Amino acid sequence: MEFTEYVARQRPALMRFATVLSCRTWLAEELVSDVLGRAFERWERISEMAEPHAYVRRMVVNEYLSWRRRLTRTSPRAEVEPMAVSDGADERAERDEMIHRLAGLPRKQRAAVVLRYYAGLSDKEIAVQLGCREPTVRSQIHRALNALRIDLTASSPHFQETS
């Protein structure tokens, strides 16, 4: 497969994945652009792999988890107001709320949850992507889901006790 064909076919999926992973559209764009630039330089070797998309997705995860990049890319540069949901659709509001909750998770927990529930990977595949053992993956996902449940319970008016 030629690199241009790969980009045309997989860039939208990589953008969605990076957006869910980073919880920031602008950061996802930078992550995917940087990764695709590096992948282009190594495309002969990458295209011969059994799963080139899995390799490029791993590159996106590694780029996101890189502490050096995280510090330079997430440091505030200007005051920006959060985007308001303008279309009023319930689905978009729920998605935005979930992304907001995901943003509160530690990076490795967020990566594990996104790889499991967004990319649909198994514990073994996630362990390979994150460079850890399968029990660590299960532990990260368990902790993340518990944190999301606690956040949901604390912030939702439907779950608050009434006297």
Confidence of residue 159 (pLDDT cuts 50, 70, 90): very low
pLDDT in tens, 39-86: 999 999 999 999 999 999 999 999 988 855 555 655 656 565 665 545
Q: Do domains 1-75 and 88-163 have the same CATH topology?
A: no
- Please state which CATH number belongs to domain 1-75: 1.10.1740
26 vs 39: CA distance, rounded Å: 20
Exposure on the CB side of residue 147, measured as CA atoms within 13 A: 17
- pTM for the predicted model, two decimal places: 0.60
Q: Domain segments of the chain: what residues?
A: 1-75, 88-163
Q: What is the tally of helices (H) and strands (E) in the chain?
A: 9, 0
For residues 14 and 146, give the distance between their C-alpha atoms in angstroms, rounded to a whole number.
27
Four-way CATH pick for 88-163: 1.20.1250.20, 1.10.10.10, 3.40.50.300, 3.40.630.10: 1.10.10.10
